[in-house]
Amino acid sequence: MTPCSEYRQHLTEHVFGDLDDAATARLREHLLSCPACRIEEEQLHVLAADARYDRFEPRPQWRARLSAAFHEANRRPRTILERRVPAWIAVAAALAGALIVAALPHAPKSVVRRAPAAEPVEFPLVQGTLPFVIAGAHDTDVRGDSVRGPRAGSDSL
Amino acid sequence: MAFSDEDVPRLIRRKDDRAFECFYAMHALPLMRYLRGLVRDEALSEDLVQETMLRVVRSIDRYEERGAFRAWVFRIATNLAMTELRRRRLMRTTPIDSAVLEIADVEAPGPAAEADAGERRRIVDAGLATMPDEQRAVFLLRAREGLSIDEIAGILCVPPGTVKSRMHHAVRRLVEFAAGRSTSRTRSAGS
């Protein structure tokens, strides 16, 4: 047997007319045999009626103020941002954007030409210059000639 | 001549003289009623209705006619109200829940008063103040304005199931709030 708590889960939807027909029929059947749930249903009907009630009376000045603001806004021509963009313009803009995006990843290849891998260039070694250029480097062997950088202990120079 | 909901955007687009009358009669009052319940501030509600109306007029060319003008108007109003409520909450120094409860205590009926219809309505209003904004919006749109679950789902950009769940919790909260009020009233009368 379905407990009352499960039926009560649907009471709100039932009272506000949001429950489907089959569930409403099941709930009604239960309500016939359950006084406690009937009381709860009655309370919710009262609550729904109270919630619908409205004491609101607009002030006359408010209506006048709204009217003035409305006519002011409606007289002004609408800017391009406020207008609805025609469908064909939107489609064209989307296509153009897609084409630009599609073209972007290929741009470096087609626009920027890469130089072919360079052959190693051999520079003639001028005695006495390289050690200054690579000051601080360890012993380096260039083209088989042994060129020594500054050694530890030679910093005093 | 009687106008339908979809006549309003057409009249506004054509800049027809009857556009305001039509908008006011069909939407201004329900909007004001809804916003008063949502933000609980008369002057702010008036400002929000005006801002909603101006946004409707300015953006009318972007409205696509699918028979949902009322829902579109309420969505604009809800977004404006929620933004304002969030802004005010950020500026507040006291926690929102205690602040809201203070309002509820002030507006609740006195202990010696009879539980007639007027008082029950005041209890509903006071109970509404204790709800989270999203729950209150759902309850007001469904119970007070009579919008459908699907319309509310469109306005709040949430699934219909979420709307039903929020509605259920809002009603439970109101029932419990009303029960708490009657208990405290009985205790006060007995002491």
Contact B61 A51 (CB under 8 A): no
From B35, which residue of chain A is nearest by alpha-carbon distance? A56
Chain A residues whose beta carbon lies within 8 Å of the beta carbon of residue B29:
56, 58
Res. A107: pLDDT tops 60: no
Q: In the predicted model, what is the mean pLDDT of residues B149-158?
A: 94
Q: Of A124-128, A137-141, B166-170, B178-182, which gets the smallest average pLDDT?
A: A137-141
Q: Would the pLDDT of B40 be above 60?
A: yes
Question: What pLDDT score was predicted for residue A139?
Answer: 43
Asked if the Cβ–Cβ distance from B24 to A63 is below 8 Å, we say yes
Residue A41 banded pLDDT, cuts 50, 70, 90: very high
In the predicted model, what is the mean pLDDT of residues B150-155?
94
Average pLDDT over residues A12-28: 93
Mean pLDDT taken over chain B: 84
Neighbour-count burial for B23-53, b at 16+ CB within 10 Å, e otherwise = bbebbbbbbbbbbbbbbbeeebbbbbbbbbb
The tokens of B2 are what?
């009687």
Note the pLDDT of residue B55.
95
What is the percent of chain A with per-residue pLDDT over 90, rounded to a whole number? Answer: 30
Percent of residues, chain B, with pLDDT higher than 70: 81
Name the pLDDT band for B3 (thresholds 50, 70, 90): confident
pLDDT confidence of A144, banded at 50, 70, 90?
very low
The rounded distance, in Å, linking the Cα atoms of B12 and B61 is 9
Inform me whether the pLDDT recorded for A116 exceeds 70.
Answer: no
Long-range contact pairs involving A151-157 (C-beta distance under 8 Å, separation at least 24) = none
Q: Cα(B170)–Cα(A109) distance, rounded to whole angstroms?
A: 61
Residues of B in contact with A55 (CB under 8 A): 121
Does B107 have pLDDT greater than 70? no
Please report the pLDDT score of residue B164 as a whole number: 95
The CA angle B108-A5-A32, to the nearest 5 degrees, is 95
Distance CA B39, CA B100 (A): 11
Q: How many other CB atoms are found less than 10 A from the CB of residue B131? A: 20
- In the chain, the amino acid numbered A13 is E
**Do residue A46 and residue B120 have CB atoms under 8 angstroms apart?**
yes
Q: Using pLDDT thresholds of 50, 70 and 90, give the confidence band for residue B90.
A: confident
Whether residue A150 is predicted with pLDDT greater than 60 in this model: the reply is: no
pLDDT value, residue A127:
54
Q: Which residue has the higher pLDDT, B74 or B120?
A: B74
Closest CA to A63 of B82, B49, B106: B49
- Whole-number mean pLDDT of chain A? 73
Average pLDDT over residues B115-124: 80
pLDDT for res A51: 87
Nearest by Cα to A66 from B145, B85, B45, B11:
B45
Q: From the CB of residue B11, how many other CB atoms can be counted at a distance below 10 Å? A: 19
How far does chain B reach from its first CA to its final CA, in angstroms? 61
What percentage of residues in chain B have a pLDDT greater than 90? 58
Q: Which two tokens stand for residue A7?
A: 């039926």
> Which residues from A are below 8 Å from B172, CB to CB?
12
C-alpha B49/C-alpha A138 separation (Å) is 79
Look at residues B181, B43, B179 and name the one whose alpha carbon lies nearest to residue B104.
B181
Residues in chain A within 8 Å Cβ distance of B139: 51
Per-residue pLDDT at B159? 97
d(CA A73, CA A66): 11
Which DSSP category does B157 fall into? T
pTM, 2 dp? 0.68
pLDDT at B150 over 90: yes
Q: Which two tokens stand for residue B18?
A: 């009857």
Amino acid at A138: H
What distance in Å separates the CA atoms of residue B96 and residue B87, rounded to the nearest whole number? 12
Q: What is the pLDDT averaged over residues B149-174?
A: 95
Nearest CB among B12, B46, B146 relative to A74 is that of: B12
pLDDT in tens, B43-89: 999 999 999 999 999 999 888 877 789 999 999 999 999 999 999 88
Rg (C-alpha) for chain B, rounded Å, is 19
Three-state SS string across B160-185, please?
HHHHHHHHHHHHHHHHHHHHHHHHHH
What is the secondary structure of chain A as a DSSP string?
---HHHHHHTHHHHHTT-S-HHHHHHHHHHHHH-HHHHHHHHHHHHHHHHHH-------HHHHHHHHHHHHHHHHSPPPTTTSPPPHHHHHHHHHHHHHHHHHGGGHHHHHSPPPPPPPPPPPPPPTTTHHHHTTT---EEETTEEE--PPTT-TT-
Q: How confident is the model at residue A79 (pLDDT cuts 50, 70, 90)?
A: low
- pLDDT of B97 strictly over 50: no
* pLDDT confidence band for A114 (50 / 70 / 90): low
Determine, for residues A18 and B164 on separate chains, whether the beta-carbon distance falls below 8 Å. Answer: yes
pLDDT-based confidence at residue A73 (cuts at 50, 70, 90): confident
What does the radius of gyration of chain A's CA atoms come to, in whole angstroms? 43
What is the ipTM, given to two decimal places?
0.75
